[in-house]
Amino acid sequence: MTSALPYRRNVGAVLFNAAGQVFVARRKDLPDAWQLPQGGIDAGEDPRAAVLRELKEEIGTDRAEIIAEHAGWLRYDLPPHLLGVAWQGKYRGQEQKWFALRFTGQDSDIDLEADSHPEFTEFKWVALAELPALAVGFKRPIYETLARDFAHLRP
């Protein structure tokens, strides 16, 4: 029964550049899907530290500063075809703490190949309002919430 499975704790980054655009990257395993950087929280790790660590792991740079934190934890459930596959079948989805960050580096600081198991093939900067249309269906409600709740930010 999937409802008995827990949610995986995770952090996510809405990374704004100086022009107010948001970083998205094309997933290696789902080439039609663009995603914000995100990743698991290690045992005992503070979510604020985790989001900077995940940026470094996923996009090769932590040149960013946190400018806002979403008030709550946002959840999504995996679609049926991914249950029992993703995360060795241990979780039903993810419970995420989202942060808005200001990118303090240059595009040349971004290295999608920095990790030994890269998740992304390319990146681009888009308007915050474009996020929901770029997300896979099961993550779209979270991206809609982020686009609405972080719309007031002017990094």
Is 65 inside a domain boundary?
Answer: yes
Mean pLDDT, residues 129-148 taken together: 95
Whichever domain contains 39, its CATH number is 3.90.79.10
By the 8 A CB rule, do 35 and 27 touch?
yes
Per the prediction, the chain carries an average pLDDT of: 92
By the 8 A CB rule, do 14 and 99 touch?
yes
Rounded CA-CA distance 30/40 in Å is 19
Residue 133 is predicted with a pLDDT of 95
Is 134 inside a domain boundary?
Answer: yes
Rounded CA-CA distance 82/15 in Å is 27
Residue 89 is predicted with a pLDDT of 76
* CA-CA-CA-CA torsion sign (133, 136, 141, 143): negative
Mean pLDDT, residues 42-53 taken together: 97
Residue 82 is predicted with a pLDDT of 75
Phi/psi class of residue 73: alpha, beta or left (left: φ > 0; alpha: ψ in -120 to 50)? beta
Is 155 inside a domain boundary?
Answer: no
Q: In this prediction, what percent of the chain has a pLDDT beyond 70?
A: 95
Mean pLDDT, residues 18-44 taken together: 93
- pTM of the predicted structure, to 2 decimals: 0.93
Residue 88 is predicted with a pLDDT of 72
Residue 106 is predicted with a pLDDT of 97
CA distances from 58 to 54, 64, 152 (A): 6, 14, 26
Domain containing 9 equals 2-149
